[in-house]
Chains A and B, each alone.
Chain A
């Protein structure tokens, strides 16, 4: 085999391939002994295991991002009462949840029942959401009425002319 200029091209030896691959397998968690002295087919399994690990890690990161989004969404809902334009004086944001979500099901039903404080917060949050929705609805109605009024006045103006 030549490199196109007539000089023979040096073939890469197996040892060179091994030396190149070795650090990659170390990074995958394979030991020196397993790579060099052990069953040579083990590298296939280490590669497969590494792929599985990467997939699981990706899945975990996705779950984490989703949960974080949920907390941010909840925080925005909590603070929303004071954000809208027609908020009454003295309106306060709903307190942010006191503890993180339960990711595992609770051991017994007694624990599963929400505390008084939790219930109160839930009611406050629902009231705040209702108020926000009502304010938005009123705003839309007001806009429609104004549009109708404007349309009528332009019609009358046109008739007079």
Chain B
């Protein structure tokens, strides 16, 4: 199952998730994961995460929910990971069952 984030705000539960249609629409709307322009990206990414389960939510409410969140840095990291899930799930993971070291490292 793809990763989801659940936010409870003013007694309502909101499920944040990305599917391929939402990612495609966001890209068509000009969205790119660009850490050089975090402010624009965060708003669009957070708004996009509502599109799968809460299509009719107003942009103002999304902004309100975002403002009410704590640990935004962690939330953003999770959102970016979730956004890349639809593409990651299309890639063949050849390392399944392979205990060898990864062929990459984090700097």
Chain A residues packing against B (C-beta within 8 Å):
13-15, 17-18, 21, 35-44, 47
Task: Find chain A residues with CB under 8 A from B86 CB.
Answer: 14, 18, 40
18 contacting pairs across A/B (C-beta < 8 A): A13-B27, A14-B23, A14-B86, A14-B87, A15-B27, A17-B90, A18-B20, A18-B23, A21-B90, A35-B20, A36-B19, A36-B24, A37-B20, A40-B18, A40-B20, A42-B89, A43-B90, A44-B89
Most buried by A among B52, B87, B92: B87
B92 x A14 contact (CB < 8 A): no
Mark each residue of chain B from 21 to 37: 1 if its CB lies under 8 Å from any CB of chain A, else 0.
10110011000000000
What 10 A-B pairs are tightest by C-beta distance, nearest first?
A: A40-B86, A15-B24, A36-B21, A41-B2, A40-B2, A43-B89, A15-B27, A41-B89, A21-B90, A39-B2
A17 x B19 contact (CB < 8 A): no
6 more CB-based (< 8 A) A-B contacts, given A36-B21, A37-B21, A37-B52: A13-B27, A14-B87, A36-B20, A39-B1, A40-B85, A41-B2
**Given contacts A21-B90, A35-B20, A36-B20, A41 and B1 within 8 Å (CB-CB):** yes
B24 x A18 contact (CB < 8 A): yes
* Nearest residue, chain B, Cβ from A21: B90
Most buried by A among B20, B85, B86, B89: B20
Chain A interface mostly:
helix
A40 x B19 contact (CB < 8 A): yes
B19 x A37 contact (CB < 8 A): yes
A40–B23 alpha-carbon span in the complex (Å): 11
* Nearest residue, chain A, Cβ from B90: A21
A15 x B28 contact (CB < 8 A): yes
Task: Find chain A residues with CB under 8 A from B24 CB.
Answer: 14-15, 18, 36
Task: Find chain B residues with CB under 8 A from A40 CB.
Answer: 2, 18-20, 85-86, 89
* Nearest residue, chain B, Cβ from A43: B89
CB distance from B91 to the nearest CB of A (A): 9
CB distance from A89 to the nearest CB of B (A): 66
CB distance from A38 to the nearest CB of B (A): 6
Task: Find chain B residues with CB under 8 A from A42 CB.
Answer: 89
A14–B27 alpha-carbon span in the complex (Å): 8
Task: Find chain A residues with CB under 8 A from B87 CB.
Answer: 14, 17-18
Task: Find chain B residues with CB under 8 A from A39 CB.
Answer: 1-2, 19
CB distance from A10 to the nearest CB of B (A): 13
